[in-house]
Amino acid sequence: MDMKPWRKIIRRTEAKTEHSSVRGRTWTWWVRFKTTLSLECGHQKVVSGQRMDAPKYRVRCAECPQT
What residue spans define the domains of the chain?
6-20+29-60
Task: State the Cα–Cα distance between residues 58 and 60, nearest whole angstrom.
Answer: 7
Predicted confidence band at 2 (pLDDT cuts at 50, 70, 90)? low
| Residue 16 to residue 60: CA distance in whole angstroms | 24
- Residue 67: pLDDT band (50, 70, 90) is low
What is the separation, in whole angstroms, between the first and last Cα of the chain?
8
pLDDT in tens, 14-64: 999 999 999 999 999 999 999 999 999 999 999 998 877 888 999 999 888
Enumerate residues 6+ apart whose C-beta is below 8 A from 36. Answer: 12, 13, 14, 15, 44, 45, 46
pLDDT band at 1 (very low <50, low <70, confident <90, very high): low
Q: Is the pTM for the entire model greater than 0.85?
A: no
